[in-house]
Amino acid sequence: MLTPIPPSAIIFLVQSGKSVDAIFYLCVQSVNGIKNRYDGPMRSIPINPDFVELLTRMRRIQQSGMLGMRVQVAENKQATVFYFSKEMSPEIAEDVAWVKQKLGLNPQSWEFKVVYGSVTQQDEIAILSRSMMEILVQQSSAIDIPAEDIQQNRAYAVAKTEDPLAELMSVHVRSGKEKPADAFVSISYRDKWFWIEDTDFRSKQLFSGVILLLSLMEADKGANQPVITVPTG
């Protein structure tokens, strides 16, 4: 639960057809230093507008078929390589150029090694991924928390932030005192019910994605361990 998701697993999910914007918003805290939103109780981080733009452009590149990955083996070590195809429309070429510029990548390169961390070297995409605990904490910010629970210090209130992706990329959990009649999944806690509406297709997809990530992390015995890095220069 506390181990960061390997960046290679995140890239594999994108390669399998999952939306790059949804996967990155859910699993990634920063890409080459560009930060995603986080609403943890001890530290709250607002989303960087460049992160929103990054996901928007990468989604367009993915939809055009110009985004890919492969596993490269050198000296008995595996490395995940992220690449852009060279043949593309002028509009997608503009998106690719923007992504390279914002991530500090060589504009003449088309392949980039994916590494874990917040500090990048030349022609690397450094992904600071979240742990399952961080994902669950972040997704809990979309729960309809009863006002009396906040007043009684049973839960903390999440500060509202300017995040255009929050409504699209969060599992919306409703709450009430009556058992829901048409729920995708529901649970009773104390004297209240919490549930996801069966008609909320987006939340159902995201919830299923979180369950998939839990399964992947349970099966992955070689997940990344945290590494201390000190920026220089």
Please state, in angstroms and as integers, the Cα–Cα distance from residue 12 to each residue in 164, 171, 186, following that order.
26, 22, 31
CA distance 185 to 204: 9
Domain range for 66 is: 7-219
- Vertex 161, ends 160 and 163: CA angle to 5°? 125
Provide the whole-model pTM.
0.80
CA distance 193 to 177: 6
| Residue carrying the six token digits 């986080």 | 38
pLDDT at 223: 46
Domain presence at residue 180: yes
What's the distance, CA 36 to chain centroid?
Answer: 8
CA distance 110 to 120: 17
- What are the residue ranges in the chain where pLDDT is below 70? 42, 74-76, 159-161, 219-233
**35-72 pLDDT per residue, tens:** 998 887 767 788 999 999 999 999 999 999 998 888 77
What's the distance, CA 219 to chain centroid?
Answer: 20
Burial 183-195, CB ≥16 within 10 A → b, else e: bbbbeeeeeebbb
CA distance 139 to 26: 8
Structure tokens at 233: 């220069």
CA distance 104 to 116: 16
Domain count, the chain: 1
pLDDT at 186: 95
Average pLDDT across the chain, whole number: 85
Domain presence at residue 224: no
